[in-house]
Structure 1
Amino acid sequence: MKNILIPSILQSDTINAVKTAIKSSNGAKCQLILMLIADIPDTYSSANLLRNIDKGLSPTQESVLQLCREIISESKNYSLKIHHQYGISAPIIRNLMEYYTIGLTIMTPSFKSSQKKINTHCAQIIANSKCPILHTNTDFQEETFSQALYIKNSDSILNAEDLQAYVNTLFSLKIVSETKINDPQRAYDVEPFLTDAIAKNNINILIETRKPKKLKLLKKEKASFHEALGIPVLSLYEGIY
C-alpha cells in the first residue's frame, strides 16, 4: 500500500477515515496525509495576507485532530502528516499526489458536503484523478472490508475478475457479487433489490468504476446512487486497466 490522502474539515468522520486507512494498509508502513484546505485571501498586501489566512481551528476540530494523532501513535507502522494547502488546482493535486506517493484517497461525507467552494472544487478534481477513492459513509463504523458488490456501468467492459487482483492491492476483500446498471436514469428502481443482495451476502463495501468528466467549477454535484445505499464505495478509475 502506498500512502493515503484524507482531505478533511476535521469533523468526527475523519476519525473513522483514519481508522479505515490503518486497517487497509494491512500492517505495511504507511503515511497518512491529512490535508486541510484554505482559500488564499484576495489581497496584494503581504501583511494583510498573513492576517487573513485562516490558521485557527475550533475546539471541536482540535479535539478531532488530537484523537487522530493518538490513534496513529498507538500504531507501529503508521505516521501522520498534516498538510496545510492554500489554494487548489488540478496541477497542485497531481503534484501533491506524486510527491507523497498517494495510492488511495479517502473522502469523508463532511468534506464532500462542505459549504466552502474550495472544498467542492477539490473533491471534483480528485474525482477526475486516476487515484482510487474510498467514499466513507456517515453511519458506517466498521473499518475492515471483506465482502464487496461490484456495480458495473452499462458501458463498462470490466468484469469482477478484472478488478479482483487490483482491489487486493488496496484491501483484503473478495468481490462476491456483480450487477449491472443498464439505465443510470432509473438506477433507483433497482435499489430494493441491491439492498436485499447487500443484506443476504453480508456485503460491506461497493465497488464502482469512473471515467473523467468535465469539471463544473464551484457547482456541487449530487451524491451518487451508489452512496445512497448506505455503505462505503470504492471508486476506481477505469482508464488504468
Structure 2
Amino acid sequence: MTLPPGKLFLLAAILFGAALAQAARPTDHPVAAAAPSVRPTAHAPLTVPVGKRTTPPKSRKTPATTRNNTRTPHTADSGKVLYLTFDDGPQLVYTPQVLRVLAKHHAKATFFVLGREVAAHPELVETTRNLGHRIGNHTWDHPHLTKLSDARLRQEIATGVESKCFRPPFRETNAHVQAVAASYHQRQVLWDVDTLDWEKPGAAKIERAILRGARPGAIILMHDGGGDRSETVAALDQALTKLTAQGYSYRSLPC
C-alpha cells in the first residue's frame, strides 16, 4: 500500500523520534547497590563530660578523640590541662606519698580504687576526697570482666566504690561490660597514656612516658596500689616539676 507523501513524512518523523528516545535511554547494566549505612557501635565507650556539656563544641577546641572513642575532657577555659589517674589503691604506704607529691605541685587527680582496698582502708579514701581529688570505681577485686558471668560482673561493679566513673581492670571491656556499668550510672573512663609503671621499669622511664604523652586534655594512667610504687612516686615528682614549668595544670575527672 502506497502512502501519500505527507503521511510518509509524518511516519518518518515518528520513527526518527522513537530512535532518539531509545538512544537517550540508560544502558541496561545492573545498578550498583547503595552502600549500607554505617551503624554506630552498640554501647560505644561513654564520654567524660565536663560541667553540663553533653556534646563537643563545633570549633577548633573540640576535644580530641582517643583510641577508645572516649572523649578527652576539656574545661571551658581550655589551656594545658592534664588528668592524672591512679589505679589499684588505696594503699597504706604509697597513696599518702602520691598525695604529698600532688599537694606539692598543686595538682588534683582521680583515684580508681578497688572495693576490697577501700574496705580495708576507708580513712585513705576519705583523706583523698578531703584533699579535693575524685574517686572512681575499679571493681571490687580487679578481675578480667569480659570472662565473668553476668551475675559476677554485676557483683564486681556494684560492690566497688560509689562513683560516677568506672574503669575496667586490664582495659578489658566490651559492649556488655559498658552497658552493665551504665546501668549503675557509671560511665567508662579509660586512658590516653599508659606509663607502664606496673612493670617497674625505673623512675626515669616512667617520667619519660609521662612527659612524652603529655598534651592538653590527656588522661595519664599510673598506679598507687598493687605493689611497690616508689618508682611511680619519684617519677611523678620529677615529671610534674617539668610539666608545671611548661604551663600545665592538673585536674580531676568529673567522677
Which interval holds the TM-score relative to the shorter structure?
A: under 0.3
Report 1 or 2 for greater relative contact order, CA contacts < 8 Å, sequence distance ≥ 6.
Answer: 2
Q: Which has the larger radius of gyration?
A: 2
Higher relative strand content? 1
TM-score (norm 1): 0.27
